[in-house]
Amino acid sequence: MTEVVVTLNGEEATIPGPASLAALLEHLGLDPRAVAIEHNREIVRRAQLASTPVAAGDTIEVVHFVGGG
Amino acid sequence: MDIDTPFEIGGRQFRSRLMVGTGKYAGNQQMVDAITASGAEIVTVAVRRVDLDRSREESVLHHLSADHFFLLANTAGCYTADEAVRYARLGREAGFNEFVKLEVIGDKETLLPDVAGLLEATRILVAEGFTVLAYTNDDLITALRLEEAGAAAVMPLASPIGSGLGMLNPYSIRTIKSRLSVPVVVDAGVGTASDACIVMEQGVDGILMNTALAAAEEPVAMAHAMKLATEAGRAAYLAGRMPRREVAVPSSPELGMLA
């Protein structure tokens, strides 16, 4: 598999690709049910993760819930 | 004896009028124990980037089951309406409900709300189907505007976030409560049990706190105290306090004294 360079949570990252967002989460070891994804500023619903491709230069944010008031 | 009405926000009933945050605890077990001792059902959480250097790091969801708690995502740390809307949307996607505790902060020093941004974000999120609980200052006009904008609950502060100063303006809190139709939940500023009790004695619908528990010497014990204080304050409000008098009135009969 080749690689693509994306901006992942604000940092440049080299990830296996082209691949889907679902594959990216798997690569990162993250459970899709515990995170939310923004892909180029658009939220991607969980059901769409497998069908959303990641391309070189994309900006991806992966967030989850942390302690807060 | 239970003469209270159900506590309801956005068409949903909750078993406790005390809501708690999940931040600043020494550890996850202490957080879970404190929240359990508080009896709270609504529990706030923040939305942040996953730390990918420690990608196995657990989300707070790992410790708080959505079966037992109602997780309320906040927009803490947001300084513009756009930013708060973005965080609210992410929170909805990461979470389990349409509720958001909306914060648009205007000043780093005091963490006081930016009410213009708050109103703007409330309108946008209500139009998108969110149930907005708006963290605001203790200003009646802002509270009224938030209600008009469609907020499901208005959350005036007792005093600044994390300050532990207690309720600085009971008059404002009572006025807001008396003028709004939506629930009023006092959010932020209580430091100890008596603060929570006095807040609830104003007749507000609920109270939200985080630092008062997490920064107590014994968070779990303080959580228990806050549960009792919230219930006591609510019960005293429903009971209706005696009028204040600036003269003494004896409690024992004046008749029948020895000559």
Partners of B8 in the beta sheet? B13
Q: Is B101 a catalytic residue?
A: yes
B49 vs A contacts (CB less than 8 Å): 9-10, 61-63
Interface contact B215, partner A, CB < 8 A: no
Q: Does B165 touch chain A (CB under 8 A)?
A: no
In the predicted model, is pLDDT for residue B197 greater than 90? yes
Which pTM was predicted? Answer: 0.91
How many Å lie between the alpha carbon of A63 and the closest alpha carbon of chain B? 4
Handedness of CA B200, B203, B206, B207 (dihedral sign): negative
**Record: contact A67-B188, CB cut-off 8 A:** no
Tell me what ipTM this predicted complex has.
0.93
Task: Choose the catalytic residue: B101, B108, B177, B227.
Answer: B101
Test B95 with A65 for CB contact under 8 angstroms.
yes
Q: Chain A contacts of B82, Cβ < 8 Å?
A: none
Which residue's structure tokens are 């990608």?
B55
Instruction: Give the model's confidence band at B57: pLDDT under 50 very low, under 70 low, under 90 confident, else very high.
Output: low
The two tokens of residue B173 are 């809190």
pLDDT tens digit sequence for B68-117: 999 999 999 999 999 999 999 999 999 889 999 999 999 999 999 999 99
Which among B50, B93, B209 has the least Cβ separation from residue A9? B50
Q: Give me the residue label for tokens 């059901």.
A: A47
Contacts 24+ apart (CB under 8 A), A28-35: A28/A62, A28/B50, A28/B52, A28/B55, A29/B55, A29/B56, A30/A62, A30/B50, A30/B55, A34/A64, A34/A65, A34/B59, A34/B61, A34/B62, A34/B94, A35/A62, A35/A63, A35/A64, A35/B50, A35/B59, A35/B94
Give the DSSP letter of residue A51. G
B95 touches chain A (CB under 8 A): yes
Cis ω before A18 (30° cut-off from 0): yes
CA–CA dist B28, B62 (Å, integer): 10
Distance from CA of B221 to the nearest CA of A (A): 19
Residue B132's contacts (CB-CB under 8 Å, 6 or more residues apart) are: B100, B102, B122, B125, B126, B150, B151, B152, B153
B203 in contact with chain A, both atoms CB, cutoff 8 A: no
- In this predicted model, what pLDDT tens digit does every residue of B124-180 receive, in sequence order? 999 999 999 999 999 999 999 999 999 999 999 999 999 999 999 999 999 999 999
pLDDT at A1: 65
Q: Do B49 and A65 touch (CB under 8 A)?
A: no
Contact A43 B89 (CB under 8 A): yes
% residues pLDDT > 90 (chain B): 89
d(CA B86, CA B102): 11
Whole-number Cα distances in Å, A66 to B86, B157, B188, B257: 17, 22, 19, 67
Q: Sorting pLDDT into bands at 50, 70 and 90, what band is B34?
A: very high
CA torsion B238-B194-B177-B212 (nearest 10°) is -130
Please tell me if residue B71 touches chain A, with a CB cutoff of 8 Å.
Answer: yes
**CA B111 centroid distance within chain:** 16
Beta carbons of A9 and B52 less than 8 Å apart: yes
Which residue shows structure tokens 């009135």?
A: B249
B105 DSSP assignment: B
Phi then psi for residue B143, to 5 deg, are -60, -45
Q: Report the largest interatomic distance among the alpha carbons of chain A, rounded to a whole angstrom.
A: 43
Tally C-beta pairs within 8 A across A and B.
104
Rounded to whole angstroms, what are the CA distances from B100 to A66, B57, B151, B195?
15, 24, 10, 25
